[in-house]
Amino acid sequence: MSSAEAAAAAPQRSVSLQAEKVVAGYGEAPVVKDVSLSVGGGHVLTIVGPNGAGKSTLLKALLGIVRVREGRVALNGQDITNRPLEQLAHLGVGYVPQSEDVFDTLRVSENLEMGGYILTPRQRAERKEVVLEIFPALKNMLSRYAGTLSGGERKMVAVARVLMPDPTALFLDEPTAGLSPDLTRRVLEEQVRVLADLGKAVLIVEQKAEAALKIADHAMVLVTGSIALEGTGQEVRENPEVGELFLGGGRREASPSPH
């Protein structure tokens, strides 16, 4: 067993997220149709799919932001279907949305403190130290306004902010959007994968399919709101149908995007 596997093995049973036949959307026609999934501590579940497939809507449905019309969502066996996101934070859920993920008019330091709003001042100070050890580059930016940061730096703040309360289940919606291929690889391999190896359950949605599938234990391809295929990260990466599903359902994104 590798050290990563050993790290994953111990806390594995402590956290699990399950969705059963979730149907959700905005208007009459559902956007997410009968999606079932499960992810446990120590594991990364990657969801890929073309633009407009319903990936962000699925995450929002799991998190009580978009109403689940049918089906059920459970965290550690407890029903959390349509539970407000604020309550989920207390249950150890962290969410990095696709956009509007940092407060531009607040300093980096204040962004981190906001992320730890459910903590006591003492816990907040302690967690800030821990999070800055995970993202040491942020130490030099603490007094800068988030609105002045680059895209990559903002993403770092967004993920760091969500880590403040030490969540056990992490939902990340395109955390590498706008990042260079090198930074994408580093965010996914050195941060997201490492968080799972610490025992957290990680559900990540990515357009950059190739890079996100590399760090996945399990992966799903979502096309027009349904799971078109699933398997281990490697199985999905190597499946020749995946490219066609992307081409059929939206713009070509099955390979790492060039920016």
Ligand X SMILES: Nc1ncnc2c1ncn2[C@@H]1O[C@H](COP(=O)(O)OP(=O)(O)OP(=O)(O)O)[C@@H](O)[C@H]1O
> Among 16, 46, 56, 176, which residue sits at the site for ligand X (rule: CB under 6 A)?
56
**C-beta separation of 204 from 43 below 8 A:** no
Distances from the Cα of 95 to the Cαs of 6, 118, 163, 223, 235, in angstroms?
Answer: 26, 14, 9, 22, 27
Q: Is 46 in the site for ligand X (CB under 6 A)?
A: no
- Rounded Cα–Cα distance for residues 223 and 226 (Å): 5
Would you tell me how many other CB atoms lie within 10 Å of the CB of residue 97?
18
- Rounded Cα–Cα distance for residues 185 and 259 (Å): 12
> Among 6, 26, 87, 148, which residue sits at the site for ligand X (rule: CB under 6 A)?
26
User: Given the rule CB under 6 A, which of 51-59, 99-107, 113-121, 192-200 is the region that contacts ligand X?
Assistant: 51-59
Instruction: State the DSSP H helix or E strand holding residue 181, giving kind and residue range, or none if neither.
Output: helix 181-186
Nearest-approach distance from CB 168 to ligand X, in angstroms: 24
Nearest-approach distance from CB 30 to ligand X, in angstroms: 10
- Rounded Cα–Cα distance for residues 232 and 75 (Å): 22
Tokens 């816990």 found at: 123
Q: Is 131 in the site for ligand X (CB under 6 A)?
A: no
Q: Is 226 in the site for ligand X (CB under 6 A)?
A: no
Nearest-approach distance from CB 50 to ligand X, in angstroms: 7
User: Given the rule CB under 5 A, which of 69-77, 98-106, 159-167, 237-245 is the region that contacts Mg ion?
Assistant: 98-106
Q: Is 56 in the site for Mg ion (CB under 5 A)?
A: yes
Q: Is 57 in the site for Mg ion (CB under 5 A)?
A: no
Residues that bind ligand X (CB under 6 A): 26, 31, 49, 51-57, 98, 207
